[in-house]
Structure 1
C-alpha cells in the first residue's frame, strides 16, 4: 500500500510539474523512475486505475486534452497550490525524488525526523478514506498499561515532530487526539462510521495553536504579546506568526506588541515559555499569571 501511494504521488507530481503530458511520455519517464526498481512497463489499464484513485484521494480532476495532443493534465491544478497538505505532500515527494537520484546531494539535505508514527500513517489515511473504524493498542504516558481502543478517525495532523489522529473513541462523546508514535499496533476493522456532517478539520483547529482543542476547559482568548527586539524576536514573530489570526498592533523602540485569537492551551503556553525573556504576555491576566508561575517553578529547580 505504501509503494502504491508513492506511485500516486509520482504521477500527480509529474502531471502538476509538467502542466500536461501524454501517456507515452509518462510511460517513458516511468522506465527511469527510482520507484521502478523492477523496470516494469506502465500499462494503460494500470494508469487508468491509478488515475481514478488519485482523483478520489486528492480531490482533483485529471483530463485527457485532445486539443493538446491527448495530454493528461490536472484540470483544477490551482487546488493543489492552495491546499497546504497537498502542497506539502508534493514538495516532500519532489525533494525525495531528487535525493533518490543523487546520493551526494542527499547528504546535504537534512530532514526533521518524525518518529515511528509514520509506520501507521498510511493505514489511518486508508481507514479515513474507507470510513472504517481502527482498532489500536495505545500506550498512554499517563496510564500504567496500554489500552485497546476503537477509534473513528476523522482527520490527521502533524505537530512538533508527531503525527496525531483526531476522532472519537468507542463509548466517548468528545473528540480527542492520539499520537501515532504511541500506537503499539493498528488494525483496520470492518466496522463502518460516518464523518459528522458538521466536522471540518480546518474549522476544528481554527483557534488552536497546535493539537489541543478542549472547548470546555480552554476558551478562545485575545492574547496580547510584547516581543522584544533583543535577538530580533519581534522580527521572527512578524515573519513567522504564531497563529493565522496574529496581527501587529503597536511598534515601539525595542519592542512590538502582537494580538492573536487563540486557545491558550498547554502547547501554546509551552511555546511562549520557550522564548524566555524575549516575549512577555500582557493579557489576559490569568495567562500571564500561569506563565509567571511556570517561570517561578523553573527557577526553583535551579535553587534560584
Structure 2
C-alpha cells in the first residue's frame, strides 16, 4: 500500500475520533474502509490490527495522543485542541487528496486545472523532518536561473496559497529559509542527523506573517482596512489573517484591524479586493497602493 494511503488513513482516524469521540474499534475500522472505498481506493486491506498500528503511529507522526476509555469502550483524543499547524496540514492534505482520487475526479466536480507541483516530495520531507535528517536538492528560482544545489536542515512544511514549502536552515547558519517544493528536484534525504535548535519557534515566527515571507526585515504593523458589506461577509467567513479583529460591521462598511507584516503576498491579497478596499492606516500602505494603481494606469 502506498504511503499516501497510509497517511490518508491516519488523517481519517484523527478526524473521525475528533468528531465522534469514544467510537469503538470495529465501527472505526468499518468507517475507514468505507471511506477509502468511496475515495476510489479498492482492496485497501483494512483490519482492526491495521487501525491499532495506525493509532500508535499517530502519536509519533503528529504528536496526537489517542487514548482508549474502557468504561465507554471507545477511543478519544486526550487534548482536543490540536495545534494550528497540525490542523492546517490535515485540512490541506485532505483537500489535496480529495481532488486527486485514484478513481479520477467525477465530471460534476469542476476543480481548478492548475495543481501544485512538488507534492511528491511531501512524504520524504516529513520523514526527514521527523528524524532530523539533512536533505540535498537542486533548486530553481522563479527568475529562471540555473539550478543551484542546496543542503538543508529541514524544520517544517508550510502551505500557502496552494503551494507547499519546506522551511529550514543551511548548516552553520542561523537564518531560516523557505523553498518551494514545486522548484525542488533531485531530492535526497541523507542519513546525516542534525540537532534541532530548541529555541526555534516557527509558530511565533509566522504568527504575524502573511504568506511565506517571515523575515525580520518586515516589521509588524497595525493595519486598518475598510471594505463594503458584501466583502465583509466574505471576510467574516474567511478572515484575512489570524489577527483579524472586527472594528465595524454595518450595512455600509466593514472595518478590520490586523497585526501583520506588510509583505508582497499581503499586498497582492488586498489588491484582489480593490473594488471595495480602503486603507485607513498606515499611511505608508496607502502610498504604496496609490503608486501601484498609478503605475498600472500609465501602462
TM-score, normalised via structure 1 length: 0.80
In structure 2, the CA distance between the partners of 1:92 and 1:146, relative to structure 1 (3 Å rule), is closer
Report the secondary structure of 2:81's partner residue.
Answer: helix
Residue 55 of structure 2 corresponds to residue 51 of structure 1: yes
Which ranges in structure 1 are unaligned for 5 or more consecutive residues? Answer: none
Question: Which structure features the higher share of helix residues?
Answer: 1
Q: Secondary structure at the match of 1:67?
A: coil
1:148 aligned partner = 149
Q: Is the 8 A contact 1:60 1:79 kept in 2?
A: no
Equivalent residue for 1:63? 67
1:102 Cα deviation after fit: 9.8
How far residue 111 of structure 1 moved from its aligned partner, in angstroms, is 4.6
Residues 167 and 175, structure 1, Cα contact 8 Å, conserved in 2: yes
SS at match of 1:150: strand
| Alignment of structure 1 residues 1-304 onto 2, 5 Å | 1-26=3-28, 33-34=36-37, 37-38=42-43, 40=45, 42=47, 44=49, 46-69=50-73, 71=74, 73-76=75-78, 78-80=80-82, 83=84, 85-86=86-87, 89=90, 93=94, 106-111=106-111, 114-142=115-143, 144-170=145-171, 172-216=173-217, 218-229=218-229, 232-250=230-248, 254-301=252-299
SS for the counterpart of 1:5 is helix
CA shift, 1:266, in A, is: 0.7
Query: 257-266 vs 47-56, which deviates more?
Result: 47-56
Deviation at 1:141, TM superposition (A): 1.5
**Bigger-Rg structure (1/2):** 1
Q: Which residues of structure 2 form unaligned runs of 5+?
A: none
For residues 184-217 of structure 1, the C-alpha deviation after alignment (integer angstroms, 9 at most, x for no partner) is 221111121233222222211111121111212x
Alignment deviations for residues 246-286 of structure 1 (CA, whole Å, 9 cap, x no partner): 22335678434332111111111111222224212232222
Number of residue-to-residue matches in the alignment: 293
Alpha carbons 2:155, 2:166 under 8 Å: kept: yes
Cα distance in 2 for partners of 1:29, 1:255 equals 46
Deviation, structure 1 residue 117: 2.3
Looking at structure 1, the residues matched to 254 and 106 of structure 2 have their Cα atoms a distance apart, in angstroms, of 40
Q: 1:14 deviation in Å?
A: 4.5
SS of alignment partner, residue 68 of structure 1: coil
CA RMSD of aligned residues (A): 3.4
Q: What is the SS of the residue equivalent to 1:120?
A: helix
